[in-house]
Chain A
């Protein structure tokens, strides 16, 4: 794992995207700090992070698009397969390198509240709680970005899908207000989701029976629920969208609550997408 980690880290500091990633993050958070903390003279640094989280839509795909797609393109994934290291070691090595690249601008950002504290009353506990949550939320987005990169050998496509996914996640709270709250509307939306799940399972495992099986079980569950107690389905879709949104959960921290369930949720998302990335790489061995 350490070999992959060192190798990735070295290549990050050779490439421009790392610096672009750091610069964008710092610039955007800096802009937020200027608008909120200086011009509006608000002493809450967490508002800056809430504002700054929008930049993830751009910088996460920029950083993660090449992680695995580039290996496939250059056929260096074949080297990784033939080396005496496991796929988990490859994925964890790559992910830890991504975290280090992300940690550097975050280390600079965590000085800001201290600077502001010199000139006024800053509630440091919520500021640093939010910074920690901001870091872990970004880490979850990086795991998602890495998985998307593992699906294709085209960096541009990986970036495009990445932007769409993060953007959808960002706006899913606002969108959830507009989606149907009726039971029938929920069922239709869930059917679409099941179809997407079917496609993903089939693509990843190349096992049609497994994909059918999982989809049919879910479908049967929803149908049973619909006919037994359709009121349970009312308003479920907006609820799901809000629950799954990484950004919505971050708001709790901004409001001054250190929400442990959100942290657990972020860590679960990280573990889940790292697992999917491993499966996606392994899949090429079992096609």
Chain B
């Protein structure tokens, strides 16, 4: 559906997007994830023809966005970070303009406007001035605009930013619905959001693609060594002795603050964390010591995200120092 090849965008000395390549297939919800300033918006702007690239190609269903912009743009609906709305118009007038610009006419135009207004639930406010609408409604008008012309791909740049929790839930539901009939690409710097909505995640940091997989795979592949924290009714030395008999512990630290029970932090290389917790339970039971608390630290995307972006930063800085060293 969308092929991005060796995309690079430089602003003077700054490289916003650095040799980015990926492919997006039809009919899924994709999430662009990355810290602020990672190059998500720049990439989306280039994919939608709003910005030129320094080098590289973007093809939408075989149409190059730079060489056949009109054919390519017809396949895309785009909601930029700040919804591009004419404040002194009503949603109906605004959608009529966008629909006409997308080449819709007459009865088809009216039918599509009615349909997207229904889909985004803005029919009730269609005759109110956009400047009088709340941020959530404005966002919906922006999404409605992107849906006109029935594009195959809908690209939404940070669609939930600045909304209140109820509006966020509503917009997320709407995006999930859209995912059933369109290919949806959205960007966010909030992990949980991407995790709940997207089938595939692209993590971008410093203009580079550093991971592209399903949320489940990302968790499984990248966070196998997991952690258990436990507290026991015993002395620190006793805890250490008991734990020394348990296999598959790769890292261990026992700390005890004055007047408190000792706390042990354990890392393992076991794929199945419950296997470790089972042997820990029995080890303490055999030693006749009470296990007061045991917390399994399960991997989440937040960790992957931090790990990946940090790793990348470290790599970059070492690469740089090597260059300067040489």
Contact = CB atoms under 8 A, between A and B. Distances in A.
Given A82-B78, A84-B73, 11 more contacts: A3-B101, A7-B100, A10-B93, A14-B89, A74-B87, A82-B50, A83-B101, A84-B69, A84-B71, A85-B101, A285-B50
B49 A82 contact: yes
Given A83-B73, A285-B52, A286-B52, A74 B101 contact: no
Contact of A84 (B52, B82, B103): B103
Interface in B91-136: 93, 97-98, 100-103
Contacts of A79: 80, 84, 98, 145
Interface in B50-105: 50-52, 69-71, 73-74, 76, 78, 80, 82, 84-89, 93, 97-98, 100-103
B159 to A, nearest CB: 15
Interface of B: 11, 45, 48-52, 69-71, 73-74, 76, 78, 80, 82, 84-89, 93, 97-98, 100-103, 145
A11 B87 CA distance: 11
Interface residues of A, number: 24
A287 B54 CA distance: 10
Interface of A: 2-4, 6-7, 10-11, 14-15, 74-79, 81-86, 285-287
B50 A81 contact: yes
A143 to B, nearest CB: 23
B74 A84 contact: yes
11 contacts: A2-B100, A3-B97, A4-B101, A75-B84, A78-B80, A82-B49, A82-B50, A82-B78, A83-B73, A84-B69, A84-B73
Nearest to A77: B84
Nearest to B50: A81
Q: Is the interface of A mostly helix, strand, loop or mixed?
A: helix
A287 B50 CA distance: 11
Contacts of B49: 81-82
Nearest to B77: A82
Contacts of A81: 48-51
B48 A82 contact: yes
Contact of B70 (A75, A76, A77, A85): A85
A285 B51 contact: yes
A286 B46 CA distance: 11
Contact of B86 (A3, A76, A82, A86): A76
Nearest to A85: B101
A78 B87 CA distance: 15
A82 B51 contact: no
